[in-house]
Structure 1
Amino acid sequence: MQLGRLTDARLAQAFVDYMAVQGMPCEIREDGHYFSIDVVHSEQLDAARREFQQFAEQPNHPKYRSASWQRADRSGAQFDYGSSGTPILHQIWLHAGPLTLVILGACLVLGLLSQIGFASTIFGALHFPAPFVEQWMQIWRMFTPALMHFAMVHLLFNVVWWWYLGGRIERVVGTPKLLELLLIGALFSNTLQGFLVDANFLGLSGVVYALLGYIAVVQRSKPELAMPPAYIGFMLFWLALGFAGVLGQQVANYAHLGGLLVGAAQGWLDARKSHR
C-alpha cells in the first residue's frame, strides 16, 4: 500500500530506515521520476500514513538521518540509487524536464560561443538595457542577462544548480511553475541589479537563488522538493560572502538577493494556497 512519493532517493531511504526501526517495514519502488514508499503490512497502513505525514512536515529531522545508523538489519528495503553503471547523460535527462534542459543548453551554447570570440557580440545583443531610456523597448534585455556566462567556472556553477533545483521543481510542481519562476526571477533580480548598480552583469545566479528561495519555503508542505539543509546553508553563506566583498567586485550581489526574495515570496504564496 502506497504511502507517498518522493523525488530524492536518499530521503526515501532515510524514511524507510526509520520505519524499519519503528517496526513498520516499508519498501522503495522506482516510479518514473519518483520513488514510491509502500508499507509492507496493510494492517499498519494508518500508523504508517501518520508517520509519513510527520516526515512530510520535517523531512530533514535528525531522527530520520540517524535511523540508518540505528538500523541493525539492513537485509531489506535497500535501494540502488543508480549512481553507477548509468550513463551520465541519462542521469541528466532523468532528473530534469524539458524547460530545465532547454535553458541549460542555451546557457552552454552562449557560454561556449563566448569562449571562441563572440563575447562582445553576445553581450551587446543581450545585456541589460543601458542606457535604460534608449533601450527599454528591447524587452528581451530584461531577461537575457541570465543566459550569459563568460567565465567557465561561473557557467558550470550556475547550470549545475539550475539543473538540480530547476529539474526538481519541474518534475514535482510542473513546467509552468518553473517557467514562472524563471521569468519572474530573472526580471526582478536583473532589474534590482541593473538599477542599484549598473548594467554590466550577467549570469543565471539570480534565477538560481529564486529557485532556492522557493524550495526553502515550500519544502515543508511538499516533501518531494526537500533538499539537504547544508545545500541551502552553503548558498546563503555564498550570498553573505558576496556582500562582504570576499568574492570580488564583479559579483551581482543584488541579483542574488533579489532572486532569493522573489522566489521565497512565490513559495510563501503557493504554500498558503496549498493550506486553504
Structure 2
Amino acid sequence: MYRIKQLESDVNLAGFSQWLRQQGVNHRITAEGNFQVLWLENPDYTEPVLEALNQFLSEPHMRDRINQQGSAPVFREGRWQPSPRHAPVVLSIIVIAVLLAWATGLGSSLLSASLMIVDPRLYDWSTLAERIAALSDTLMAGQVWRLFTPDFLHFSWPHIIFNSVMLWFLGSQVEWFDGRARIVALFVFTSLISNTLQYFSTGPLFGGLSGVVYGVLGYCWLSQQRLPRFQFPPALIVVAVVWMLIGFTPFTEWVGLGRMANEAHLGGFVAGLAMAGLWPPRRQRRV
C-alpha cells in the first residue's frame, strides 16, 4: 500500500471510500492519532484519486453525484458494467448499425449502395485515379454522409455482434470518463480516416464499425498511459494488433473468413492514437 493523503479524523470519508470501491480502486483508510490516512494499492491512481477527493471535500454537488452513483454504479465488484444511460451516444451508434444491418439484408439489398462511400453502380473504381474522381464527384453532389455510412454496413451477424460488443465495452468508457463530445469527435475522426484509407486502397465494397473499434482501442490504450481510468485487459491491445497484422496476409482467406478491411483497421487505429496524442484527457476524473 502507498500512503496518499492525511486528513483530520472528523472528515467523513465513508461515501468516498464506497465510490472508490465501485471504481475498482483498491485502497484502505487507517487511523493515526487525530488523523486518518488514505492508502492506495496502485500508485498510478494517485493523481486522479486526489483530484476526486479534493472535489468530494470542496464541492457539495460532487458528494451528491457520488451518492447517486451508489444506486446505479458503472462499476460492480470492480468491473465496468454501465447501463444505457451512461453512454447514450455509443448505444445510439450500435442501434443504428443493427437496424441498418437488418434493413440492408446484411449488405444484400440495393440500399447498401446508398451507404457505401461511393455508389459502385455509377462509377469505375478499378484505379486510384478513378476512385479519387468518383469520391470527388460524390462529395460535390452533396453526399457527404457517405464518408461515414460505411460504418453501419455489415455483412454478417457475427460481424456486427463482435463490433457492437467491443464498441460498447470501450466506447462507453470513453463517453463516461471523457464526455460525449470526445466520443463523437473520436467517432467522426476515426470514421473519416479509416473509410477513406480503405476506399483509396480497395474501392467502395467494404463496411463495418471495425475501423471505429480499432480507433477507440488505440485511443484508450495511449490515453490510459497519461491518465489511468479505463478498464480493459492489457492483452487486448496485443491481440488486436496481431489480428490486424494477420489481416494483411492471405490467412483469413485460407480459413474461409474472406478478406478483411485491413486498411480501415490500420487507419482507425492510427487515428485513435493521434486523437489521444493531440487531445490529452482532462485531469479531472468524472464521478
Q: TM-score, normalised by structure 2?
A: 0.67
Give how far 1:82 is off.
9.1
1:265 matched residue in structure 2: 274
Give how far 1:54 is off.
3.3
1:132 matched residue in structure 2: 135
Aligned equivalents of 1:56, 1:226: Cα separation in 2: 16
Q: Name the SS for the 1:39 alignment partner.
A: strand
Q: Name the SS for the 2:83 alignment partner.
A: helix
Identity across matched positions, percent: 30
Is the CA contact 2:27–2:39 (under 8 Å) kept in the aligned structure 1? Answer: no
Is the CA contact 2:227–2:281 (under 8 Å) kept in the aligned structure 1? Answer: no
Aligned equivalents of 1:163, 1:45: Cα separation in 2: 39
Counterparts in 2 of 1:29 and 1:246: CA distance versus 1, 3 Å: farther
Give how far 1:33 is off.
7.8
Structure 1: runs of 5 or more not aligned: 5-26, 58-78, 84-90
Report Cα offsets for 1:122-171 as digits up to 9, x if no partner: 31211112432431231000011001112111111100111011011111
1:88 matched residue in structure 2: none
Aligned equivalents of 1:95, 1:35: Cα separation in 2: 20
1:166 matched residue in structure 2: 171
Within-5 A mapping of 1:1-276? 29-30=18-19, 34-35=23-24, 39-43=28-32, 48=39, 52-55=42-45, 81=77, 93=83, 96-115=86-105, 119-130=108-119, 131-136=134-139, 137-248=142-253, 249-271=258-280
Aligned equivalents of 1:218, 1:193: Cα separation in 2: 25
Aligned equivalents of 1:46, 1:53: Cα separation in 2: 15
Between 190-199 and 226-235, the greater mean CA deviation after superposition: 226-235
Report Cα offsets for 1:41-92 as digits up to 9, x if no partner: 154966726x5433569xxxxxxxxxxxxxxxxxxxxx96399xxxxxxx56
Counterparts in 2 of 1:39 and 1:216: CA distance versus 1, 3 Å: same
2:54 matched residue in structure 1: none
Give how far 1:205 is off.
0.4
Q: TM-score, normalised by structure 1?
A: 0.69
Between 192-201 and 130-139, the greater mean CA deviation after superposition: 130-139
Q: Which amino acid aligns with 1:48?
A: W
Aligned Cα root-mean-square deviation (Å): 3.3
Pairs aligned (count): 221
Higher-helix-fraction structure: 1
Give how far 1:230 is off.
1.2
Q: Name the SS for the 2:18 alignment partner.
A: strand
Larger Rg belongs to = 2
Aligned equivalents of 1:95, 1:168: Cα separation in 2: 12
Aligned equivalents of 1:272, 1:32: Cα separation in 2: 23
Give how far 1:32 is off.
11
Between 162-171 and 248-257, the greater mean CA deviation after superposition: 248-257
